[in-house]
């Protein structure tokens, strides 16, 4: 399959471990688009983009199931941009992501205050 890369390069591009990539494949979250005759995983640029999206969800604390739901909704919209259920699912996810981001921002502000206070001791 033209335009594919091996798991090691995917790991480098995404900053995800080989173990994580294999786990995502095993649970069906992101499976490689092809395999070599020897069974080695081969990923496309689209696969890498999906993995990067997942990597961005991780710090916000989304579960693997939630990540799968987001990917499924994105796939549904790619197939049918008028899919209102998929759009609603993504909109709900965006709202949730915004709330989680706000919570993290508050935690960072608190950490900055602590660091400043400790420096002043």
Would the pLDDT of 1 be above 90?
no
Mean pLDDT of the chain: 95
Q: And the tokens for 22?
A: 């294999």
Helix axis angle for 45-57 and 18-27, nearest 10°, is 100
pLDDT for 3: 86
Indicate the SS3 state at residue 25. helix
pLDDT tens per residue, range 55-81: 999 999 999 999 999 999 999 999 999
Global confidence as pTM: 0.85
Site of tokens 């995502």: 24
The answer to whether the beta carbons of residues 9 and 18 sit under 8 Å apart is: no
């Amino acid at each position: 399959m033209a335009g594919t890369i091996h798991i090691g390069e995917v790991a480098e591009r995404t900053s995800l471990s080989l173990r994580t990539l294999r786990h995502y494949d095993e649970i069906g979250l992101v499976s490689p688009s092809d395999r070599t005759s020897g069974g080695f995983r081969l990923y496309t640029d689209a696969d890498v983009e999906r993995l990067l999206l997942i990597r961005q969800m991780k710090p916000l604390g989304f579960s693997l199931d939630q990540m799968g739901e987001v990917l499924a909704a994105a796939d549904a919209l790619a197939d049918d941009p008028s899919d209102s259920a998929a759009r609603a699912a993504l909109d709900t996810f965006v709202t949730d992501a915004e709330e989680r981001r706000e919570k993290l921002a508050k935690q960072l502000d608190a950490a900055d205050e602590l660091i400043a206070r400790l420096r002043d001791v």
